[in-house]
Amino acid sequence: MRILVLNGPTLNLLGEREPEVYGRETLADIEAAVRERAAALGDLEIAFTQTNHEGELIDLILGHRDWDGLIINPGAYTHTSIALADAIAATKLAVVEVHLSNIHRREAFRQRSYVASVAWGQITGFGWRGYLAALDLLHAHLAEADRA
Ligand code: DQA
């Protein structure tokens, strides 16, 4: 089972970026937690990456379209990028959208997600633990699909 974990713009600054909103954990901390959980679940290959560039996010999604799952925190592209939603829709990846903050209790412009319309589901507001929840959910979902 292969799962790509993608992080969008400015998530490379986690830990120092508005910690009261996004938490004190760095992206490296989150990656370590995800890899630890993946090892515990077993039978999982994880690629974990971050980019500030919309086109690179799209290239990574399309380049991994034969993988099984995608966990994506698209950052601000969540709210702006039809191109990102189109790329996801072009694949058969099972997609969980993750946000550290609860986008539904923030500014109005953050409450619309283009990605949500092409995702299996969205986890928002649970901080870094949202990535682990996404991994657990995808792993169970994909294992079930495998057995069917
Ligand atoms: C975010 C929420 C977005 O609105 C914001 O632009 C981010 C981070 C989150 O994880 O809470 O960059 O995706």
If you take atom 7 of ligand 1, which residue's CA is the nearest one? 75
Q: How far apart are the first and last CA of the chain?
A: 15
DSSP annotation of 43 reads S
List Cβ neighbours of 81 (8 Å cut-off, separation of 6 or more).
Answer: 54, 74, 114, 115
Each residue's pLDDT tens digit, 14-73: 999 999 999 999 999 999 999 999 999 998 999 999 999 999 999 999 999 999 999 999
Angle formed by the axes of helices 27-41 and 129-147, nearest 10°: 30
List pLDDT tens digits, range 103-146.
999 999 999 999 999 999 999 999 999 999 999 999 999 999 88
* Domain of residue 58, CATH code: 3.40.50.9100
Our count of domains for the chain comes to 1
Residue 82 — very low, low, confident or very high, per pLDDT cuts 50/70/90? very high
pLDDT at 148 over 90: no
Residue type, 13: L
| Residues contacting residue 98 through CB under 8 Å, at least 6 positions apart | 71, 72, 73, 122, 123, 124, 130, 131, 134
Whether 22 is catalytic is yes
Amino acid in position 83: A
> Does this model's pTM top 0.95?
yes
Contact criterion met (CB below 8 Å) for 24 and 15:
yes
Taking the centre of ligand 1 as the mean of its atom positions, its distance from the CA of residue 101, in whole angstroms, is: 7
Per-residue tokens: 119: 């995702």
pLDDT of residue 106: 97
* Residues β-bridged to residue 121: 96
Ligand 1 atom index nearest CA of 22: 11
**What separation in Å is there between the alpha carbon of 73 and the centre of ligand 1?**
7
Most ligand 1 atoms within 8 A of CB, residue of 84, 99, 104, 131 to mutate: 99
* Mean local confidence (pLDDT), 81-101: 98
Gyration radius of the chain over CA positions: 14
One-letter amino acid for residue 67 of the chain:
W
- The active-site residue, picked from 77, 99, 114, 131, is 99
Domain containing residue 57: 2-147
> Percent of the chain at pLDDT above 90?
97
Which one of the listed residues 22, 77, 114, 131 is annotated catalytic?
A: 22
| d(C-alpha 78, C-alpha 98), whole Å | 10
Which tokens go with 125? 């507001």
The predicted model gives 86-115 an average pLDDT of 98
